[in-house]
Structure 1
Amino acid sequence: MISSCEEKQKEKQPEAKLEVEVIETSRSGNKLAKIEKFSKADSVAKISLNPDKTFQTFTGFGGAFTESSAYLLNQLSPENRKKIIDAYFADSGAKYSLMRTHMNSCDFSLSQYSYAPVEGDKDLEHFSIEEDKPDLIPMIKDAMAASNEGFKLFASPWTAPPWMKTNNDWVGGKLKPEYYDTWALFFSKYVDAYKAEGIDLWGFTVENEPHGNGNNWESMHYTPEEMTEFVRDHLGPKLEEDGKGDLKILGYDQNRAGLKEWVDVMYKNEANAKYFDGTAVHWYESTYKIFAEDLQYAHNKAPDKYLIETEACVDAQVPVWQEDDWYWRKEATDWGWDWAPEDQKYLHPKYRPVYRYARDIIGCMNNMVDGWVDWNMVLNRQGGPNWFENWCVAPVIVDPDQDEVYFTPLYYTMAHFSKYIRPGAKRIDFESTDKDLQVTAATNPDGNHVVIVFNPSEEEKVFDMQLGKITKTISISPQALQTINIVN
């Protein structure tokens, strides 16, 4: 029997509430703003977390070091250069944790070049990374210095030197079989050369876009069988022989619609799968479709291996300068708007850049992708420079002539994920009763939970965030992205 004293004590106990920190970026002008006051409207939805049910472990979020971005940083004042580096890598910034760079030149280089320019140099005696020393390497090292927790860096070749290829050209063609061993040696020498500069590699993708890119810029073609043979019989054994067997090798590295065919070959048997540590994908097949079934299929083929989105950008588009609202409007186009076959044009409508990023990252996370890497971190007002004049948008746009820097809404969108979901976090189960909200959730290595909510609708949403028996009523602005940090 409960005494009257005990009843009074029970009445005095405050109702337990969830302790949260809410960060919001919105079309109305919030930029990673801390939200402490919420709407007094009644909640009409609920997001319930189930941290006991976990999925993939996250490798990281980040972008790419390209010669174009590095060159632009060198055109800015030291103050603005540092401002950008810190914005991406410092604890006060986005804390990027998974990074990519290119081996040899790519479309976002100032010119076409190779570290092995001497024809017939099968032993790569003339191998040199001198081309990377003025711009690319200093950018990477500055990023390393700014990052307290460090980041994983992987490299991707766009093409072997033309002399190793069937068409003796930078664009298209295949690697000649007699140069498979030389090309494997090239990867090993690249690791040594970068290590001599104080930069350690985490791994590689075998080839950027092995289907090619429409014969536009640097490329080299593989079938799934050819890439698997190269990795199984040449690259994997060479790295192992040279004491570099811990480097990660990611296969494929192109659009998600082609994924099933590739993982069927890569993971067909133990011999094929031995040296593949995971699969890399890009997002260019569609401006809005996630290809969830394909991602789940790839994960199920190799559930113990990485599945990383390694390149994304708003492409074929000159960036809009210092007009935040453009990035929330349905005005951007992509390559498929003009170039896609007629039966695929529906996949490439005009689209909102912020929506494209937020939807894709959340969709990837909820479909077993464990890392998400953006493309260029810095471009100029034209969307370059690059030798092919293939203009694209980056989260940070600069005007080197005026020494001005513009952090677009895409920068803040990326930071919602990279800053708060740390390497080693595990995705957790949740239920959301509002189908308009796009949601994902994770538990960080420190035990704190992170929920990311995207509201693409044009109305405020109010929902109860529930963990166990405790809740917190939260409101999210129209057309907004929130990161909700829950402190245990």
Structure 2
Amino acid sequence: MKTLQKYIILSLLTVMSCMENKEVLQVEIFETSAKGHALTKIETFGNQVNDSVVKVELFPETTFQTITGFGGAFTESSAYLLNKLSKKNRDTILKAYFSKDGANYSLTRTHMNSCDFSLSQYSYSPVEDDINLEHFTIEADTSDLIPMIKDAMKVSEDGFKIFASPWTAAPWMKDNNHWVGGKLLPKYYDTWALFFSKYIKAYQEEGIDIWGFTVENEPHGNGNNWESMHFTPKEMTDFVEFHLGPKLEADGYGDKIILGYDQNRAGLKEWVDEMYRDEKSSKYFHGTAIHWYESTYEVFPEALQYAHNKAPNKYLIETEGCVDSQVPEWKDDAWYWKKEATDWGWDWAAADEKYLHPKYAPVNRYARDIIGCLNNWVDGWVDWNMVLDRQGGPNWFKNWCVAPVIVDDENDEVYFTPLYYTMAHFSKYIRPGAKVILVDNQDEKLQVTAAQNLDGSIAVVIFNEFETPKSISLSLEGKTADFNIDGQALQTVFIQKT
């Protein structure tokens, strides 16, 4: 008996000695949670919350893709709403998105011509059969959209990239002579390529540099609901290889990024196979753009990996995602953590595809998707509208959606939803040029990703979508940080450069 007691005492002393000698990894932890944290710095880590500890180890020597950025879209709807607010609230929103103290967005999108989140339908080429686009004008953007972009540029110390997407050419260029559906007439392929070049120049004259384009928003169409123009993979690739790419090159814009596809991930294979069919076509495609609407629950890792392996040195950017088919809840943080939200496929999805469109909490959709994307070669993730009203608009089609920031423009009130803080967990701490690094995460239910920034700092994003808190032991190069993550919580663990 004395021998056993002696053994236990010696064992305890050994454990205590190891604990005393364990090197502590210095971290800062920021949490957003269903209990009310909103990118809140956790000052005390507390005691272990349960018997099992999740071990997470970082391996910065093993790197994957280089981050392009995170952000949202400048739309006419958002810009219009900002102009209806007081200067104080307008400035508050822009600083929240673009300042270093805020989300510090680094990658943004805007639309060319009108889209569903415009107040009306319009084109920069309003005169029919204007083949040389002598009447090209961006006047429609000068009241709201351009001022929003310029003001964001003033706020942003680091700057941000902007890519533009057309929803459709003017009806006179299309085979159905309509804003919705139809295809670009082959006789206008050169005119449409010129349109992109004219757009770059017009925005340059406004002091705005366009980083690149997606060739067409949702080339499969959108159920013929709002502005659209259809391309097959071959039609888009031919347009880029023989018209758009050469035109931008000839006009001195060969450095502008061209992203192909720009729709749901499930269809990636046929598109990247065609886009990168040979060296001539690959020359003009700088990457692939994707959306999440095939499922805001399933990440489609196999499709993402296929796209990366097809063109490992090209961009792979999620260019649009939002909680759609919903009127946003006003000042009700709890709703954004509840499984009450649906997506557009909830009502019509076939029985064997219903699993792709479950009721799923809005925060979960964002956090799960961004982490899943980063862990499968995606290098940029762009939200849709930055600002919407309490109805989820305005837009001409009455296509209501949720945005991270909701405003009551009539009463000059602003609501930062939990989605805003969710986006900031990534955009604020994972900066352009960062490398996604290898993570060994021993808990399949805990979602984790990590990236090392150019300055050597590391951001680890951890999402616990379940209600049970977890204890975590995070290790890096022999040092360890022990902490807890609450149930239904998202954390960014930030490790400064050593």
TM-score range, shorter chain: over 0.9
Matched residue, 1:61: 70
SS in 1 for 2:365: helix
Which residue identity lines up with residue 78 of structure 2 in the other structure?
Answer: S
* 2:400 aligned to which of 365, 370, 391: 391
Which shifted more, 424-433 or 339-348?
339-348
Alpha-carbon offset, residue 226 of structure 1: 0.1
Distance (whole Å) between structure 2 residues aligned to residue 342 and residue 167 of structure 1: 34
Alpha-carbon offset, residue 291 of structure 1: 0.3
Is 2:164 the partner of 1:155? Answer: yes
Distance (whole Å) between structure 1 residues aligned to residue 464 and residue 40 of structure 2: 16
What does the per-residue CA deviation read over 1:454-479, in whole Å, with 9 as the maximum and x for residues that have no partner?
A: 01111111111100111010111110
Which residue identity lines up with residue 336 of structure 1 in the other structure?
Answer: G
Matched residue, 1:268: 277
**Contact kept? 1:43, 1:473, Cα under 8 Å:** no
Matched residue, 1:367: 376
Is 2:201 the partner of 1:192? Answer: yes
**Contact kept? 1:24, 1:480, Cα under 8 Å:** yes
Matched residue, 1:19: 26
Distance (whole Å) between structure 2 residues aligned to residue 103 and residue 344 of structure 1: 33
Matched residue, 1:6: none
Alpha-carbon offset, residue 349 of structure 1: 1.4
SS in 2 for 1:405: strand
Distance (whole Å) between structure 2 residues aligned to residue 47 and residue 15 of structure 1: 16
Distance (whole Å) between structure 2 residues aligned to residue 442 and residue 320 of structure 1: 33
* 1:120 aligned to which of 125, 129, 146: 129
Matched residue, 1:425: 434
For these two proteins, the number of residue pairs brought into alignment is: 479
**Contact kept? 2:341, 2:360, Cα under 8 Å:** yes
* Pairing of 1:92-103 with structure 2 (within 5 A): 92-103=101-112
Which residue identity lines up with residue 286 of structure 1 in the other structure?
Answer: S
SS in 1 for 2:95: helix
Matched residue, 1:36: 43
In structure 1, runs of 5+ residues without a counterpart are 1-9
* 2:222 aligned to which of 203, 206, 213: 213
What does the per-residue CA deviation read over 1:50-80, in whole Å, with 9 as the maximum and x for residues that have no partner?
A: 1000000000000000000000000000000
Alpha-carbon offset, residue 345 of structure 1: 2.5
What does the per-residue CA deviation read over 1:423-471, in whole Å, with 9 as the maximum and x for residues that have no partner?
A: 0000000101122210001100000111100011111111111001110
Percent of aligned pairs sharing the same letter: 71
Alpha-carbon offset, residue 339 of structure 1: 2.8
Matched residue, 1:235: 244
What does the per-residue CA deviation read over 1:178-210, in whole Å, with 9 as the maximum and x for residues that have no partner?
A: 000000000000000000000000000000000
Distance (whole Å) between structure 2 residues aligned to residue 370 and residue 15 of structure 1: 35
Q: Over aligned residues, Cα RMSD in angstroms? A: 1.3
**Contact kept? 2:472, 2:484, Cα under 8 Å:** yes
Is 2:385 the partner of 1:376? Answer: yes
Which residue identity lines up with residue 129 of structure 2 in the other structure?
Answer: G
What does the per-residue CA deviation read over 1:321-378, in whole Å, with 9 as the maximum and x for residues that have no partner?
A: 0000000000001110123344423311111000000000000000000000000000
Alpha-carbon offset, residue 287 of structure 1: 2.3
What does the per-residue CA deviation read over 1:18-47, in whole Å, with 9 as the maximum and x for residues that have no partner?
A: 010000000000000000212312661110
Which residue identity lines up with residue 19 of structure 1 in the other structure?
Answer: Q
SS in 1 for 2:371: helix
Is 2:420 the partner of 1:411? Answer: yes
SS in 1 for 2:474: strand
SS in 1 for 2:57: strand
SS in 2 for 1:191: helix
SS in 2 for 1:318: coil
Distance (whole Å) between structure 1 residues aligned to residue 230 and residue 477 of structure 2: 52
Is 2:94 the partner of 1:85? Answer: yes
**Contact kept? 1:39, 1:462, Cα under 8 Å:** no
Runs of 4+ residues deviating >2 angstroms: 13-16, 339-346
Distance (whole Å) between structure 2 residues aligned to residue 462 and residue 341 of structure 1: 40
SS in 1 for 2:346: helix
Which shifted more, 341-350 or 232-241?
341-350
Matched residue, 1:5: none
**Contact kept? 1:43, 1:464, Cα under 8 Å:** no
Matched residue, 2:9: none
Which residue identity lines up with residue 223 of structure 2 in the other structure?
Answer: G
What does the per-residue CA deviation read over 1:108-143, in whole Å, with 9 as the maximum and x for residues that have no partner?
A: 000000000100000000000000000000000000
What does the per-residue CA deviation read over 1:214-237, in whole Å, with 9 as the maximum and x for residues that have no partner?
A: 000000000000000000000000
Matched residue, 2:58: 49
How high is the TM-score relative to the length of structure 2? 0.95
Matched residue, 2:293: 284
